[in-house]
Structure 1
Amino acid sequence: MLEFLRGRDVLVAGWGVSGRSLIAPLRDIGARPVVTDNGPRALAEAAELGLDIAPAPELENTDWSRFALVITSPGWRPDSPVLASAVAEGIPVWGDVEFAWWVDQARLYGPVRKWLVITGTNGKTTTTAMTHSILRAAGIPSVACGNIGLPILDALRRSPGPQVLAVELSSFQLHWAPSVRPEAGVVLNVAEDHLDWHGGLDAYAAAKARALLGRIGVVGLDDPIAAGLARRSKARRTIGFRIGVPADGELGVVDGKLLDRAFTKAAILAEAKEISPPGPAGIADALAAASLTRAIDVAPQFVREGLVAHKVGPHRSALVRELGGVEFVDDSKATNPHAARSSILGHQHVIWLAGGQLKGAAVEDLVEEVAGRLVAVVLFGMDAPVIAAALARHAPEVPVLELDTRDHSGMGQALMNEAITGRPDSDIADAVMARAVRAAAEFAGPGDTVLLAPAAASLDMFTDYTHRGRSFAGAVEELKDEDLGRRL
């Protein structure tokens, strides 16, 4: 399948983590990688490594026949000029995941691996980590890779190589990977996210459904859109999981126990109280991980061992500190309303920190559903006014403080710096977060949770959601007892 690349130029579109991972395999195949990117710094770095470069604007007038293939980073939209030009000239465009699939099928780095694919609007990383933990407990050589951080190609090149890949895939990656046929794949849930990239919810859901093209397809039955994808699944067998009593062909929960009725008559897998993170979202992720690993015949005892061993990672409903009876929880990974909903519903009395880039997602349903749990709300970032308006309509009795971050001292200079460097100003972003945390603390009393669950992306102010979470944690650590509850 990859012989057509030997001796030919291949355009690598995007010099990020995935772009860098392509270089060695392309050279191992005998292809000549050529790097394009919209950033001069990225191109300079590629050139310093001895790679041929092609600035994106120059490709508008290039002779496309020189390229056998374009491999794009997942974030590049189909209508970006470079990709649109390639398609118009009849040059195939693959994503890095599609290329990794064919590298694996070609046995370039050893026997073909079993792919366990995890996707969904929320819970992907937790489910991937749980899946990998179960595989480790079973003694199966494996690795967690893909959107979780480690490029799949880097995982394939490891020595000794893994037998099973726990692959987290975003909707972007799946859009560019039509050939992937996993041993088992799960769609956890589907809610409004990245609609600006895909052009609508239907296209977004269709991209997610590409996880359901292999031997076993798994869907989250408590999510109406994910459950609906079962009817469109092209997997040889499709099963589901629910946080409730499972029917035949399902996994679920009975009397506080995770139960498998899909791969056996009835097998207890774990106690719900043993799952981290606790609560419905964590249990759903555990059921999904159990489904994938049971699909490749991992025994129930190893499912339990792996789930018990798994602990929640940073920025995913992680307790930062308890102060004066108030819990401060970092769920910066809640980058859309669906994720924020699960986070807020895990606590009874919430001072909610929210805001950022909504990416076209609506917040009306979220606010209406969680209004009864909100003690107060502190908003910041680009789309804070949108959330404030929803709160005014659906939770008018809840105190709301909207930080006017663009008038914050130094914010004007920060925006100028961002325009020049293309990156948010970390110092100013941290100062805004410190203001938000102090304000939230003033609303809080014993039994409350100050919860960072932004319901929005972070890139308007922070370098990424991990920076946002670290900024929150740093501000929380500076608080003293006397900072609490002055507005109650």
Structure 2
Amino acid sequence: MGSQEVSTVDWQGKHVTVAGLGVSGIPAARALHERGALVTVVNDGDDERARAQAAELEALGITVRLGDGATLPPSTELVVTAPGWQPDKPLFLAAAEAGVDIWGDVELAWRLRGTNGREAAPWLAVTGTNGKTTTVRMLASILEAAGLRTAAVGNIGVSLLDAVLGEQEYDVLAVELSSYQLHWAPSPRAHSAAVLNLAPDHLDWHGSMEAYAADKGRVYEGNTVACVYNAADPATEDLVREADVEEGCRAIGFTLGPPGPSQLGVVDGILVDRAFVKNRQKQAQELAEVSDVNPPAPHNIANALAAAALARAFGVEPAAVRDGLRAFRPDAHRIEHVADIGEVAYVDDSKATNTHATEASLAAYDSIVWIAGGLAKGATFDELVTGAAKRLRGVVLMGADRALIHEALTRHAPEVPVVDLDRTDTGAMSEAVEHAARLARPGDTVLLAPACASMDMFTNYNKRGEAFADAVRARAGTSA
């Protein structure tokens, strides 16, 4: 693994504060406690679920402090934080003032890998504003098709700590990393990594686009074989140039057009590799057909090319790329076809929670009735609407910040009919689907791609997508 040697820390008696209960906090507290650390867990919330989680940890001898995540416990020598906690929290400011290191769950997993007597598996890492989960799951499918022991882990919902400390042995891990996780992870060194794209997102957390991009760029630090970038997004290539990588590590681009040397791309409906071939100046290796990608929308083909590039960097044969892509099934609420009613397609892309994801979603269809709105998270919509205006048959808006999208439509697509639903209850989705159906014509796609977060109306984007699918299926039942 080159410079990726396993790190050793003497945890016995070390005072560690774990910030946050939940998917990352509980495994971190358990793992540190098992290694002899004196663990205190602090958590902002003090609800019934938190109290139940606290009771389980306290039964092991771990101290838990609920309702106070702001104060740094005395004697703290290290803070391990859940990725979502903002850097300006008083706890972290106090830690910085005291000279106490702050690690995220990814940093801890990196430091603990290989400490359970099993060889540390190399990481193939993926980050970007959109497409991370799909790309990582595609990558895992390709690696499995190659006969490798692997798992899709990280921000995808499977704890990295569980992966590196569990009983299962892996040949390689497909790791999804968010900007939050990368912010608190100075040490990880991937075998190869990809930044899929960069667009404004989570700027309230990072403070600026520059800080957000810098955190994303950490994924390239110390790469040993390949830094994979998006040839259509120069900012990703800039991050490769700025990265401090191992000698011999290569920059590998992916493009939806014909690839140049050291790139993967598309020629006549074929995904081809001009990076991992003997003579990349003159040769290209066929990997798969565009029709092997599910669904074959442009941004999803880009995801497939990025996954293929990482797999090829790890030495995977072309046939496994094809077989892995064919076997892959996308997660729910990601350009998911729900039904066809009266020659109108209904598609759920509730996962499109920002403008960049929605831009890609809108680009996949020619004539669209767009259902949008929710919490804008500080986003603006002029560029999105300008790019999509010619594709829009009509728009149905709902949610707290729908006026921002409506204003952009008025400025840049005044001829497009807009239905503005003045309600933010969950039942609004059924009405939205009814209005969209009236606007649609045969051959159109009714597309839920909100460009906004869901929490003003729904628990999460999954619930929003389920409400859309339920409303469509109800309509399909009445139209049958």
The TM-score normalised by the length of structure 2 is 0.92
2:103 maps to 94
Instruction: Give the Cα–Cα distance (whole angstroms) in 1 for the partners of residues 91 and 244 of structure 2.
Output: 32
- The question of 1:228 aligning with 2:238 is answered yes
Residue deviations 1:156-211 (CA, integer Å, cap 9, x gap): 23323222110111111111111111001000000111111111111111111111
Name whichever of 36-45 and 94-103 sits farther off: 36-45
Aligned equivalent of 2:261, options 248, 257, 280: 248
Question: 1:237 matched to which residue of 2?
Answer: 250
1:32 equivalenced with 2:45 (yes/no): no
Is 1:144 aligned with 2:140?
no
Say if 1:79 and 1:374 are closer, same or farther in 2 by CA, change over 3 A.
same
Equivalent pair of 1:36/1:43 in contact (CA under 8 Å):
no
Q: Which residue of 2 aligns with 1:374?
A: 392
1:125, 1:168 within 8 Å by CA — same for their partners in 2? yes
Q: 1:3: Cα distance to partner?
A: 2.8
Q: Note if 1:17 corresponds to 2:23.
A: yes
Q: Deviations over 1:410-464 (max 9, x none)?
A: xxxxxxxxxxxxxxxxxx42x1212211221121221111101011111222111
- Equivalences for residues 320-339 of structure 1 within 5 A: 320-339=338-357
Instruction: Mark the CA change 1:54 to 1:189 in structure 2 (over 3 Å): closer, same or farther.
Output: same
Query: How has the CA–CA distance of structure 1 residues 62 and 159 changed in structure 2, closer, same or farther, with 3 Å as cutoff?
Result: closer
1:471 aligns with 2:477: no
Q: Which residue of 1 aligns with 2:324?
A: 306
Specify the SS of the correspondent of 2:68.
Answer: helix
Q: Deviations over 1:88-109 (max 9, x none)?
A: 11111000001001111x5335
Distance 1:480 1:312 in 2: 23
Question: Which of 27, 31, 51 lines up with 1:44 in the alignment?
Answer: 51
Q: Deviations over 1:113-146 (max 9, x none)?
A: 1101011111111100100000110110000011
Distance in 2, matches of 1:94 and 1:128, equals 23
Give distance in 2, aligned partners of 1:20 and 1:239. Answer: 37
Show the counterpart of 1:161: 169
When structure 1 is superposed on structure 2, of 475-484 and 389-398 the one drifting more is 475-484
Distance 2:346 2:50 in 1: 42
Measure the CA separation in 2 of the matches of 1:182 and 1:273.
Answer: 31
Asked if 1 retains the 8 angstrom alpha-carbon contact of 2:265 and 2:271, the reply is: yes
Matched, 1:209 2:217: yes
Report Cα offsets for 1:54-85 as digits up to 9, x if no partner: 2453753742xx22211111100100111111
Offset at residue 481 of structure 1 (A): 7.8
1: CA distance between counterparts of 2:131 and 2:266? 18
How far is the alpha carbon of 1:155 from its aligned partner? 1.5
List aligned pairs for 1:117-196, cutoff 5 A: 117-196=125-204
1:282 maps onto 2:300 in alignment:
yes
**Partner Cα distance (2:76, 2:365) in 1:** 54
Distance 1:322 1:204, change over 3 A: same
Paired residue type of 1:38: D
Aligned to 1:80: 89
Q: Which has the higher helix share?
A: 1
Whole-angstrom distance in 1 between the partners of 2:211 and 2:286: 37
Counterpart contact for 1:334–1:456, Cα < 8 Å: yes
Query: What CA distance in whole angstroms lies between the structure 1 residues aligned with 2:8 and 2:106?
Result: 14
Distance in structure 2 (CA, Å) of the matches to 1:199 and 1:76: 14
Distance 1:310 1:109 in 2: 32
Confirm or deny that 1:461 pairs with 2:457.
yes
Structure 2 residue runs of 5 or longer lacking an equivalent are: 1-6
Displacement of 1:343 after TM fit? 0.6
TM-score (norm 1): 0.91
Whether the 8 Å CA contact 1:35–1:46 is kept in 2: the answer is no
* Kept after mapping to 2: 8 A contact 1:326/1:447: yes
| 2:436 is the alignment partner of 1:440 | yes
Q: 1:58 to 1:169 in 2, by over 3 A?
A: closer
How do residues 107-126 of structure 1 correspond to structure 2 at under 5 angstroms?
Answer: 107-108=115-116, 110-126=118-134
Q: Structure 1 pair 10/43, CA: closer, same or farther in 2 (3 Å)?
A: farther
- SS class of match (2:361): helix
Q: Following the alignment from structure 1 to structure 2, what is the Cα–Cα distance between the partners of residues 276 and 61? A: 48
Which one of the candidate residues 60, 77, 90 is aligned to 1:68? 77
- How many pairs align? 459
Mapped partners of 2:81, 2:429: distance in 1: 35
Structure 1: which 4+ aligned runs deviate by more than 4 Å? 480-484
Aligned residue for 2:151, secondary structure, equals strand
For residues 481 and 394 of structure 1, the distance between their equivalents in structure 2, rounded to whole angstroms, comes to 37
Q: Distance in 2 between matches of 1:55 and 1:242?
A: 49
Decide whether the 8 Å contact of 1:109 with 1:156 is kept in 2: no
SS at 1:5 equivalent:
coil
- What secondary structure sits across from 1:71 in the alignment? strand
Matched-pair contact (CA < 8 Å) for 2:21–2:50:
yes
Q: Could you tell me how far apart the structure 1 residues matched to 2:237 and 2:149 are? A: 32
Q: Contact 1:252–1:259 (CA<8 Å) still a contact in 2?
A: yes
Match in the other structure for 1:218: 228
Q: Which amino acid is the alignment partner of residue 470 of structure 2?
A: G
* Cα 1:475/1:482, change in 2 over 3 Å: closer
In the TM superposition, residue 482 of structure 1 has moved relative to its aligned partner by 7.1
Tell me the secondary structure at the aligned position of residue 380 of structure 2. coil
* RMSD between superposed Cα atoms in Å: 1.7
The letter for the 2-side match of 1:37 is: N
Counterpart residue type for residue 16 of structure 1: G
Equivalent residue in structure 2 for 1:365, among 383, 386, 401: 383
State the match for 2:4 in structure 1: none
Identity among equivalent pairs (%): 46
Contact 1:10 1:67 in 2 (8 A): yes
| Aligned-residue offset at 1:154 | 1.2
